[in-house]
Chain A
Amino acid sequence: MSTPVAELVRWDAARLSQALRAGVVSSEEVTRAHLDRIAAVDGPTGDPDGSGVHAFLHVDAEGALARARQVDADRASGAELGPLAGIPIGVKDVLTTRGMPTTCGSRMLEGWVPPYDATVVRELHAAGLVVLGKTNMDEFAMGSTTEHSAFGVTRNPWDPTRIPGGSGGGSAAALAAFEAPLTIGSDTGGSIRQPAAVTGTVGVKPTYGAVSRYGLVALASSLDQAGPCARTVLDTALLHAVIAGHDPYDSTSIPAAVPDVVGAARRGADGDLSGVRVGVVRELSGEGYEPGVLARFAEALDELRAAGAEVVELSLPNIVHALAAYYLILPSEASSNLAKFDGMRYGLRVVPDGEHVTAEQVMRATRAAGFGDEAKRRIVLGTYALSAGYYDAYYGSAQKVRTLVQRDFTDAFGKVDVLVSPTAPTVAYRLGEKLDDPLAMYAGDVATIPANLAGIPGMSLPAGLSDGLPVGLQVLAPQQADDRLYRVGAALEARLVAKWGGPLLARVPEWKGVPA
């Protein structure tokens, strides 16, 4: 073999796929390279506050290597394999994995080993992907920084003192640190897109219902959506094609064919967007957005115009209320979804001191010990918003705002093919900076949550750097038109990469850990 093993981890999935099919490398070699990389940069297990990236909560080296050897054997026997067969992947710890711990970043589920695979995980296995392990996240996907993981923070590979975004900081950091070429995330209000933005990677929240939620531990059922994360738009599309599709185990799964996202990504790569109408959302730029973020966004718009797209500004007046509606709907649904964690059937059980301890006392003690502050805050807020007497003013009104936001999007997509905005108002901020100010943290989700409320697909892709830190651009499309994200995203990516003289991630500094 002529390729240095260490180099393999920098290849994207499309290139690995070609090499595997050509027999240039084996899945075992690719898998081992990534396991070695994880061992080198992720930090020692059991040292969560150490100086590693800490993208992974659990690594299954043996299982991954066994799986890789199996794929190699299948390939050798001439079996027909999918394009991503043999390629390693990290899975956000919010998806159930049979026989592999699933914690959702919570003490509540420490040590829990699910007896079943999420549908997404089954799809990964069926497509021959090699699951390396489970990636870190804010507890039960509540947070924008991964600081709310019960098992320690994940660090941003661009700057270890900064957040990797959240809740899927582990899945994004693993890509940026070259620990995995592909990861799975989940996005309830931006948990795929915002981490992608602050780590210089690509992440897509598909149309609600496009990817099965069966086995995705629910945060807010009407907002949650699992999706693909990768370092390139094409890789993201290849993974999207594997995990999307109808699932009879999920009532909200869309019973329709998946749009040709891979074809769209390949077509977009020629950099031509003639005839494509791009709308700039007036309400999602300007005040509250960092100048560096706005500068990169403006440059990206220039590239879109240069690609032949017609760029127009338009207004979605109701999305200024989206954040408020979201922070009522999410806690309400979460308060109910997280009620099952009570110490009775699985996971943590805390028995308070005293005689004749009752089930109710154990539930209260268990939930007090098992949930972190952010989870408790949202559970109490949701309990309040659903209470008789407050339901109409809070939850009921929020669901109506949701209707207004959907209508705004419908109107907008009557005029343009896609909408664009910065993904997040800021680049990655410092760890701890907003830990005690939940409202400030929530404000960072302003651009991503409208898509969740409306059920539409959204992508974040790198738009450049500001003060050495990545800036993300968000593309939004109508429901079930996920392919448009990939065409526009791939075209923009192609032009930007050409402008930069190489992928943005080529500039990520070599991991040295936290400066002393």
Chain B
Amino acid sequence: MSAQGVGLVDYDEAVSRFDPVLGLEVHVELNTKTKMFSGAPTEFGAEPNTQVDPTSLGLPGAMPVLNAKALESAIRIGLALNCSIAERCRFARKNYFYPDMPKNFQTSQYDEPIAFDGHLDVDVPASEDGSKPAFTYRVQIERAHMEEDTGKSLHVGGSTGRIHGAEYSLVDYNRAGIPLIEIVTRPLEGTGDRAPDVARAYVAALRDLLRALEVSDVKMEQGSLRCDVNLSLRPSPDAPLGTRSETKNVNSLRSVERAVRYEVSRHAAVLDAGRKVVQETRHWHEDTGLTTAGREKSDAEDYRYFPEPDLVPIEPDPAWVEQLRATLPEPPAQRRKRLQAEWGFSDPEFRDTVNAGAVELVEATVAAGAPPAAARKWWTGELSRRANAEGVELSALAVTPAAVADLQALVDAGTLTDRLAREALDGMLAGEGGAAEVVAARGLAVVSDESALVAAVDAAIAANPGVVEKIRGGKVQAAGALIGAVMKEMGGKADAARVRELVVERVGA
């Protein structure tokens, strides 16, 4: 299905004959307590039209005043993206009519963004099958600017609940005026067949960076990070840029990758058919994996930008900017490299840790005294399984990194076997207390009373003469049956290695 009715070209074939050029526009909702230009709250999921005031509702007479925290966040984002920070910049009005925009203009920045000319180095991982290697791509950032979000419309009537066929709409202005930072790349050239991977890796890297800056929830599923994908094809890297499509509504990492692939295939088909790509806005459909045509850009509105007279120019004090620069967090990519080296993880081990979302948790567990390998095993293994089973984030489990470190200390001290440690974890997750408390309360500690162990070993030997015969006959692996019997007798609370030593010693093999 294609708007231009020419089908699709296989992706690999498309990229063998065309050079894709990407452009990415990411909107980030800041996590400020109040809106960009007024003191209305910004709580997600509140009852409709309860997070509003005269300004965010665009009432006659209301005026904007810039949120200082939003300005600070914008500058920090700019600095983290290696941008220059404007010595002076202004807001502008972008004029167009839309029912979810209360003033019928969006207060944004036009030709004077707060941050410009930056870059972000993105680590693009190797393909799953290893046929395509990992590499680093430098994404050039054109600008990062401040603006405000719009309200949200609920389309009522029709069969789909979508805008088309709806009889009317219900508008909630809670989201109107929430601070947004729009981050715009320059054209990403030279990605070749890796364009989808680069796009995904960039958005992932940006998300990690914004999370490290603690400026946004960066929840793509809630819309606090939204991505528009621009794509064009040209016959060769030397050719001028082709006509681009702008795909909106791409709201997961996987969708970013899929949308790029889809648009590459679609553009190639249009070009193969000897047609021209239409410059237009397209909508990504998560369910079908397709894009459909929206508004044609050739008929674009004239936005009639002009400097916002209700807001005064911004001239950030250079000393303040330097102070913000000095207190930026370590860049996530650099931090990962450092942690991987410090922990001595292999690439796959570290990737598993990252994919499990466990880097910070492992770091904290190590800081609390656990060996890195053990911390990794807990968080990417047992704890990930439990989080999955409960359907919660790893960090939402009822156990702290310090508690995990305490548990591991008991294992390292020989007080707990791995199995006992897992049992202790049950108690910890059930809120029964810390590792030591649960071990004491549940009586989980390994039995260290040698005479009790010896008695149990002797009893097992006496009860299994056949097994003893086999061991004495040289079948040492048969000792397992005796060890098992002893462990069962001891309720698992024995150190299996010590039991093996005793069995071998008492059988006299």
Measured CB to CB, the residues of A under 8 A from B are 95-96, 102, 104, 109, 112, 114-116, 118, 213-218, 220-222, 248-252, 332-333, 335-336, 339-342, 344-346, 359-360, 363, 383, 386-388, 391, 395
Cβ 8 A contact of B62, one of A215, A359, A387: A215
> A-B pairs with CB below 8 Å: how many?
97
Residues of B294-318 contacting chain A, CB below 8 A: 302, 304-306, 309-312
Task: With CB as the reference atom, state the residue of chain B lying closest to A360.
Answer: B97
Which residues from chain B contact A114 at a C-beta distance below 8 Å? 54, 59-61
Which residues from chain A contact B64 at a C-beta distance below 8 Å? 251
**Digit string of B66-110 for contact with A (CB within 8 Å is 1, else 0)?**
100000000000000000000000000101010100111100000
Cβ–Cβ contact A109 & B59, under 8 A:
no
> How far, in Å, is A456 (CB) from chain B's closest CB?
17
Which residues from chain A contact B224 at a C-beta distance below 8 Å? none
Cβ–Cβ contact A339 & B310, under 8 A:
no
Cβ–Cβ contact A345 & B58, under 8 A:
yes
Cβ 8 A contact of A342, one of B97, B305, B306, B311: B97
Which residues from chain A contact B105 at a C-beta distance below 8 Å? 336, 339
In the bound complex, CA of A95 to CA of B311 (Å): 20
Contact (A391, B61) CB under 8 Å given A115-B54, A345-B102? no
Which residues from chain A contact B304 at a C-beta distance below 8 Å? 335-336, 383, 386-388, 391
Task: With CB as the reference atom, state the residue of chain B lying closest to A359.
Answer: B99
Residues of B27-61 contacting chain A, CB below 8 A: 54, 57-61
Cβ 8 A contact of B95, one of A216, A221, A386: A386
Contact (A345, B65) CB under 8 Å given A251-B312, A252-B310? no
Q: Which 8 A-B pairs have the closest CB atoms?
A: A339-B104, A386-B304, A221-B309, A222-B309, A215-B61, A217-B60, A96-B61, A217-B61
14 sampled A-B residue pairs with Cβ under 8 A = A213-B63, A214-B61, A217-B61, A220-B309, A250-B63, A251-B64, A251-B65, A251-B310, A335-B304, A336-B304, A339-B97, A339-B105, A346-B59, A383-B304
In the bound complex, CA of A344 to CA of B104 (Å): 11
Q: Is B169 an interface residue (CB 8 A)?
A: yes
Q: Is B253 an interface residue (CB 8 A)?
A: no
Cβ–Cβ contact A344 & B60, under 8 A:
no
> How far, in Å, is A65 (CB) from chain B's closest CB?
26
Q: Is B471 an interface residue (CB 8 A)?
A: no
In the bound complex, CA of A104 to CA of B312 (Å): 26
Q: Is B171 an interface residue (CB 8 A)?
A: yes
Cβ–Cβ contact B302 & A388, under 8 A:
yes
Cβ–Cβ contact B65 & A249, under 8 A:
yes
Overall SS of chain A's interface: loop
Cβ–Cβ contact A391 & B306, under 8 A:
yes
Cβ–Cβ contact A104 & B60, under 8 A:
yes
Cβ 8 A contact of B65, one of A222, A248, A341: A248
Cβ–Cβ contact A102 & B95, under 8 A:
no
Which residues from chain B contact A216 at a C-beta distance below 8 Å? 61
> How far, in Å, is A101 (CB) from chain B's closest CB?
12
Which residues from chain A contact B63 at a C-beta distance below 8 Å? 213-214, 249-251
Which residues from chain A contact B103 at a C-beta distance below 8 Å? 339-340
Cβ 8 A contact of A95, one of B61, B62, B306: B61
In the bound complex, CA of A96 to CA of B99 (Å): 23
Which residues from chain A contact B169 at a C-beta distance below 8 Å? 359
Cβ 8 A contact of A340, one of B102, B302, B306, B310: B102
Task: With CB as the reference atom, state the residue of chain B lying closest to A332.
Answer: B306
Which residues from chain A contact B104 at a C-beta distance below 8 Å? 339-340, 342
In the bound complex, CA of A93 to CA of B380 (Å): 66
In the bound complex, CA of A333 to CA of B57 (Å): 19
In the bound complex, CA of A252 to CA of B309 (Å): 9
In the bound complex, CA of A344 to CA of B62 (Å): 17
Cβ–Cβ contact B54 & A116, under 8 A:
yes
Residues of B182-223 contacting chain A, CB below 8 A: none
Which residues from chain B contact A214 at a C-beta distance below 8 Å? 61-63
Cβ–Cβ contact A336 & B60, under 8 A:
no
Interface centre among B61, B63, B93, B105 (most CB of A within 10 A): B61
Cβ 8 A contact of B311, one of A220, A251, A360: A251
Task: With CB as the reference atom, state the residue of chain B lying closest to A356.
Answer: B167
In the bound complex, CA of A360 to CA of B163 (Å): 14
> How far, in Å, is A459 (CB) from chain B's closest CB?
24
Cβ–Cβ contact B61 & A336, under 8 A:
no
> How far, in Å, is B154 (CB) from chain A's closest CB?
14
Task: With CB as the reference atom, state the residue of chain A lying closest to B54.
Answer: A116
In the bound complex, CA of A360 to CA of B96 (Å): 11
